[in-house]
Amino acid sequence: MTGWVLCVIPLLTLSIQVPGAAPARDQPGAVARSASRQAHLASAAVANHDYAMAAVDAIGIALLALSLAGSLYIVIGLVRRLTALGLRWSADHPARRLLVALAGLAGMAVLAAFWGMQGQFRGW
Protein backbone atom coordinates (compact mmCIF):
# COMPACT_ATOMS: atom_id res chain seq x y z
CA MET A 1 0.00 0.00 0.00
CA THR A 2 2.83 2.37 0.85
CA GLY A 3 4.48 1.69 -2.51
CA TRP A 4 1.23 2.44 -4.31
CA VAL A 5 0.82 5.76 -2.46
CA LEU A 6 4.45 6.71 -3.03
CA CYS A 7 4.07 6.13 -6.78
CA VAL A 8 0.58 7.47 -7.42
CA ILE A 9 0.52 10.65 -5.33
CA PRO A 10 3.53 12.28 -7.05
CA LEU A 11 2.08 11.36 -10.45
CA LEU A 12 -1.27 12.88 -9.55
CA THR A 13 0.46 15.95 -8.18
CA LEU A 14 2.35 16.47 -11.42
CA SER A 15 -0.74 15.53 -13.49
CA ILE A 16 1.11 12.82 -15.38
CA GLN A 17 -1.27 10.27 -16.84
CA VAL A 18 -0.57 6.83 -18.17
CA PRO A 19 -1.16 6.93 -21.95
CA GLY A 20 -4.47 5.43 -22.94
CA ALA A 21 -5.85 5.21 -19.41
CA ALA A 22 -9.30 6.66 -18.84
CA PRO A 23 -11.80 6.44 -16.01
CA ALA A 24 -13.47 3.04 -15.99
CA ARG A 25 -16.96 4.55 -16.25
CA ASP A 26 -15.99 6.19 -19.55
CA GLN A 27 -14.39 3.14 -21.14
CA PRO A 28 -14.98 -0.31 -19.68
CA GLY A 29 -11.74 -2.28 -19.88
CA ALA A 30 -9.60 0.85 -20.28
CA VAL A 31 -7.00 -0.36 -17.79
CA ALA A 32 -6.57 -3.70 -19.58
CA ARG A 33 -6.33 -1.98 -22.97
CA SER A 34 -3.83 0.51 -21.59
CA ALA A 35 -1.67 -2.25 -20.11
CA SER A 36 -1.81 -4.17 -23.38
CA ARG A 37 -0.85 -1.05 -25.34
CA GLN A 38 2.02 -0.30 -22.96
CA ALA A 39 3.30 -3.87 -23.30
CA HIS A 40 3.12 -3.62 -27.09
CA LEU A 41 4.99 -0.30 -27.03
CA ALA A 42 7.62 -1.77 -24.70
CA SER A 43 8.21 -4.77 -26.95
CA ALA A 44 8.44 -2.51 -30.00
CA ALA A 45 10.94 -0.30 -28.18
CA VAL A 46 13.08 -3.32 -27.26
CA ALA A 47 12.96 -4.50 -30.88
CA ASN A 48 14.24 -1.05 -31.94
CA HIS A 49 16.94 -1.14 -29.23
CA ASP A 50 15.33 1.88 -27.52
CA TYR A 51 15.77 0.60 -23.99
CA ALA A 52 15.00 3.91 -22.28
CA MET A 53 11.53 4.01 -23.84
CA ALA A 54 11.02 0.34 -23.01
CA ALA A 55 11.83 1.15 -19.37
CA VAL A 56 9.32 4.02 -19.39
CA ASP A 57 6.65 1.71 -20.80
CA ALA A 58 7.49 -0.94 -18.21
CA ILE A 59 7.09 1.68 -15.47
CA GLY A 60 3.68 2.55 -16.93
CA ILE A 61 2.63 -1.10 -16.70
CA ALA A 62 3.94 -1.31 -13.13
CA LEU A 63 1.98 1.80 -12.14
CA LEU A 64 -1.19 0.32 -13.60
CA ALA A 65 -0.57 -2.89 -11.65
CA LEU A 66 0.10 -0.93 -8.45
CA SER A 67 -3.10 1.03 -8.92
CA LEU A 68 -5.13 -2.15 -9.34
CA ALA A 69 -3.37 -3.85 -6.43
CA GLY A 70 -3.95 -0.83 -4.16
CA SER A 71 -7.62 -0.66 -5.05
CA LEU A 72 -8.04 -4.38 -4.52
CA TYR A 73 -6.26 -4.17 -1.16
CA ILE A 74 -8.59 -1.40 0.01
CA VAL A 75 -11.73 -3.23 -1.12
CA ILE A 76 -10.68 -6.52 0.46
CA GLY A 77 -9.83 -4.76 3.73
CA LEU A 78 -13.20 -3.01 3.77
CA VAL A 79 -15.10 -6.24 3.06
CA ARG A 80 -13.15 -8.09 5.77
CA ARG A 81 -13.85 -5.38 8.35
CA LEU A 82 -17.54 -5.21 7.50
CA THR A 83 -17.82 -8.99 7.60
CA ALA A 84 -16.07 -9.19 10.99
CA LEU A 85 -18.29 -6.42 12.35
CA GLY A 86 -21.43 -8.16 11.10
CA LEU A 87 -20.36 -11.53 12.47
CA ARG A 88 -19.47 -10.03 15.84
CA TRP A 89 -22.81 -8.16 16.03
CA SER A 90 -24.80 -11.24 15.05
CA ALA A 91 -22.99 -13.78 17.22
CA ASP A 92 -25.45 -16.20 18.86
CA HIS A 93 -28.43 -14.44 17.21
CA PRO A 94 -29.71 -16.35 14.15
CA ALA A 95 -32.12 -13.57 13.17
CA ARG A 96 -29.31 -11.01 13.21
CA ARG A 97 -27.10 -13.37 11.23
CA LEU A 98 -29.81 -13.64 8.57
CA LEU A 99 -30.13 -9.84 8.53
CA VAL A 100 -26.37 -9.46 8.05
CA ALA A 101 -26.38 -12.00 5.20
CA LEU A 102 -29.31 -10.26 3.49
CA ALA A 103 -27.67 -6.85 3.92
CA GLY A 104 -24.47 -8.19 2.33
CA LEU A 105 -26.36 -9.68 -0.61
CA ALA A 106 -28.36 -6.47 -1.03
CA GLY A 107 -25.15 -4.43 -1.03
CA MET A 108 -23.63 -6.64 -3.72
CA ALA A 109 -26.83 -6.44 -5.80
CA VAL A 110 -26.92 -2.64 -5.58
CA LEU A 111 -23.25 -2.43 -6.55
CA ALA A 112 -23.76 -4.78 -9.51
CA ALA A 113 -26.82 -2.79 -10.65
CA PHE A 114 -24.89 0.47 -10.38
CA TRP A 115 -22.00 -0.94 -12.38
CA GLY A 116 -24.44 -2.35 -14.93
CA MET A 117 -26.07 1.05 -15.42
CA GLN A 118 -22.63 2.56 -16.03
CA GLY A 119 -21.87 -0.09 -18.65
CA GLN A 120 -19.12 -1.88 -16.76
CA PHE A 121 -20.28 -5.29 -17.98
CA ARG A 122 -20.56 -4.38 -21.67
CA GLY A 123 -18.73 -6.83 -23.86
CA TRP A 124 -18.69 -9.72 -21.37
6, 54: one domain: yes
Between helices 51-89 and 94-118, what is the axis angle to 10°? 150
Total number of domains in the chain: 2
63, 120: one domain: no
Q: Look at residue 82 and tell me if it is in a domain.
A: no
Tell me the whole-structure pTM to 2 decimals.
Answer: 0.59
Q: Look at residue 79 and tell me if it is in a domain.
A: no
Q: What's the CA gap between 36 and 8, in Å, rounded?
A: 20
**Domain extent for 106:** 90-124
Q: Look at residue 85 and tell me if it is in a domain.
A: no
pLDDT tens figures, 65-103? 888 888 888 888 888 999 999 999 999 999 999 999 999
